[in-house]
Amino acid sequence: MESKNNLYLYVISLSLILFVFMGEIVVYVFSIKSWIEFNILHYRFNNYDNTLTLKYTIRAKRYPSRITIMLLSTTRKVTDKSIYIYYDPDYQKAEIDKKKILVIINFLKYELKIRGYKSHLKVINAIKLKDILLDKSNASNSIIIIPTGAFPENVYSRYINFVKPWVKYGGTLFWTTSRFGYFSASRDTSEINQQSFQYLGDSSQVEFFGTKIINKQTRYMMGTKKSKIGRVLGIKYPFLYGGVNIKKVKLLQGKVLGLIKYSTTSVGMIPLGKGKIVIFGGFIPSASYAKIIAKDISQIIVSGVLSGKIEFYKKYSISNHETVNDKIKVTIPAKYKFILYVFQNSQEGLFYKRLYINSGGISSGL
């Protein structure tokens, strides 16, 4: 039998354990993910006047929420492509450290998962990167992300370029830091040697696109105005250091996705052959911006905006327990397919719903 003197210790300990338990329950049981309900009440394709009508309802269950609805048209069926992110610790990096690369990788996995992306993110080394780039038959089903600021020398240098043919065959490439293609990384853990004969400098832009596309700015220069797509998707990455010239984006029939200032965008997409290259402005001052990049990449990939056209979007501010009923009517040729992407705008938001719509019906998978 415990003496009365010790009883208070048991009372305190058990109360503390109870608090921890209740906390676990709150974290994993009460914080249910469905603060928002979105349902399509009715949809109809009218072949006579080429219109699509959608009626839907949104309800914020507990807290006020900001929701965006975006309807995207595309001629091709969109699938969730395999995503590869390159990181090889044995190779040099340019203008980024290991921590930020790991933040990008880790966050990207999470951001893709919560958006319901079907394919897993795979981290690949330089050898595997070369294998993927050489397998052009799968290029159109693959996305490669380069967060290291430099292609490894086994795929891109003054003498070889396995990247461009792969993109031309339909691959999608994301470039996140340093200036696009400026450096070629050696198998070495030292800092990249800017005087090395292997680095191509700005001529790599001409090598890829036939013209210089980057408007070099100072490192901390940020875009202030949002592009249309950036505003819809909530793209937050602001730096213009190695950003893309907007005129060149338009000339090459690309898309401006990020923030804008001085004719430069922080995120731009340029098509190349059947593929696309998405270029971020190249400066990541802290891990927070690495997180932002991960979120922006997943938002760009999942929304399907790279291969479709935004036909309609609307933003809603919904009070708690409020239900909004609304309707979309768009005129579009019948052969088109649609992606309806509904998402929560806030930084912490978890609500992402993607619906694939065509004349045959609605499905949640792509």
Which residues of the shown chain bind another protein in the complex (CB under 8 A)? 5-6, 8-10, 12-13, 16-17, 19-20, 22-24, 26-28, 30-33, 35, 63-64, 97-99, 102-103, 106-107, 109-110, 114, 286-288, 291, 320, 346-350
Task: Between 203 and 286, name the residue whose CB sits nearer to another protein.
Answer: 286
Residues 6+ apart with CB under 8 A from 74: 304, 307, 308, 309, 336, 337, 338, 339
Q: Is 312 helix (H, G, I), strand (E, B) or coil?
A: strand
Task: Return the CA Rg of the chain.
Answer: 24
Residue 214 — φ and ψ, nearest 5°? -95, 130
User: What is the number of other CB atoms lying within 10 angstroms of the CB of residue 319?
Assistant: 10
Q: What is the per-residue DSSP string for 10-61?
A: HHHHHHHHHHHHHHHHIIIIIS-S-SEEEEEEEEEEETTTTEEEEEEEEEE-
Tokens of residue 199, six digits: 């680095």
Task: Between 62 and 274, name the residue whose CB sits nearer to another protein.
Answer: 62
Task: Between 22 and 41, name the residue whose CB sits nearer to another protein.
Answer: 22
Q: Comparing C-alpha atoms, which of 20, 104, 162 is closest to residue 284?
A: 104
Task: Between 13 and 325, name the residue whose CB sits nearer to another protein.
Answer: 13
The CB-of-17 to another protein minimum distance in angstroms stands at 7
Task: Between 320 and 363, name the residue whose CB sits nearer to another protein.
Answer: 320
The CB-of-152 to another protein minimum distance in angstroms stands at 21
Alpha carbons 39 and 47: distance in angstroms, whole number: 24
The CB-of-362 to another protein minimum distance in angstroms stands at 25
The CB-of-14 to another protein minimum distance in angstroms stands at 9
The CB-of-26 to another protein minimum distance in angstroms stands at 4
Task: Between 102 and 332, name the residue whose CB sits nearer to another protein.
Answer: 102
